[in-house]
Amino acid sequence: MPIQARMKRCQEHLSRLLLRYLPHPEQSPLFAAMRYACLNGGKRLRPLLVYSTAEIFGADNEQVDPIAVAIELVHCYSLIHDDLPAMDNDELRRGKPTCHIAFDEATAILAGDALLTLAFDILSEAELSAHQNESITLKIIKIIAQASGAQGMVRGQSLDLSAQGKKLNLQELTQMHLAKTGALIAASVQCGALATGKASLDDLDELLKFGQAIGLCFQIQDDILDACGHSEMMGKLPGQDVKNNKCTFVTLLGITQAKEHAHYWHQQALMRLKRFGKNAHPLQALATYMIERPN
């Protein structure tokens, strides 16, 4: 199935699942803000990584639905907080006003908090695989928690904020984005494999490295789009990195070398999938999409 068709099917499936798990919007402004942040579009790439990885080991969507939903909730929480005035101070997300603009800053903060905790509530009750036991469930929870928190995404955001106005070297910039962007992407593929109960330690190690590589592909393309993209296509305002005086792969390397760097990490990602043969074709297609995506 072509990657665009797989993405569309995943987006529709995730929307149905999110409607099931999210609280009813009329009950409070908080619940309305939670839904607003999760149901305003989005590529759903992280859930698709979960499903595509589980497919390598013969699992169907239903087995990993709770993981896909939980990771998307964590991602949506991070977008709310990233957009806040104290962070990136963005006014548009997915072509619509950001959560703190549509509601207010306090409600947006609380909506992000609530989405994060809902993710772990869902994981704690999940029945994932006949091959799975409680120790695997705890491992999945730990991986997502570490990818989300002070060792992963939150650490990366903190490093990003502290680097404003400074010129990082390539190693520093790479390490920052392995945390900020790559950690949750890598967790998506690892947990999709773990939930099946069929992945070996070597499988998990290669998938971790694959996830890190495509996380960097995604971030480099994001930097390129911020420098060259259009708001109508991207769903957010371009030029924010320059406005916020951020060091990016584009400001550090220039457009041409940034594209070459993305190509390098794309090749690294594909190399990590060789052990899985034709079963990894969906992940290969996703890796290619990461460096070719238009928004």
User: Rounded CA gap, 240 and 232, in Å?
Assistant: 15
pLDDT the model gives residue 164: 84
pLDDT the model gives residue 240: 62
Q: Check if the beta carbon of residue 210 is closer than 8 Å to that of residue 53.
A: no
Amino acid, res. 191? C
Amino acid, res. 262? A
Q: Which of 210, 239, 243, 208 is nearest to 222 (CA)?
A: 239
For the chain, the domain total comes to 1
User: Rounded CA gap, 136 and 195, in Å?
Assistant: 7
Residue 23 is classified by DSSP as P
Q: Check if the beta carbon of residue 105 is closer than 8 Å to that of residue 115.
A: no
pLDDT the model gives residue 287: 94
pLDDT the model gives residue 246: 79
**Crossing angle of helices 45-56/281-292, nearest 10°?**
160
Give residue 192's domain range: 3-292
List, in sequence order, the alpha helices (H) in the chain: 3-21, 29-38, 45-56, 61-83, 99-102, 105-124, 134-148, 153-162, 170-177, 183-194, 201-228, 231-234, 240-243, 249-253, 255-272, 281-292
Q: Which of 30, 66, 95 is nearest to 238 (CA)?
A: 95
Instruction: Decide: helix, strand or coil at residue 93.
Output: strand
pLDDT the model gives residue 271: 96
User: Rounded CA gap, 294 and 143, in Å?
Assistant: 30
User: Rounded CA gap, 97 and 94, in Å?
Assistant: 8
Burial of residue 256 (CB within 10 Å: 0-12, 13-18, 19+) is exposed
Q: What is the mean pLDDT of each run of 10 residues along the chain (295 residues)?
A: 91 95 92 95 94 93 92 97 92 91 96 98 76 79 96 94 88 95 97 93 96 96 82 54 76 94 96 95 93 83
CATH code at position 156: 1.10.600.10
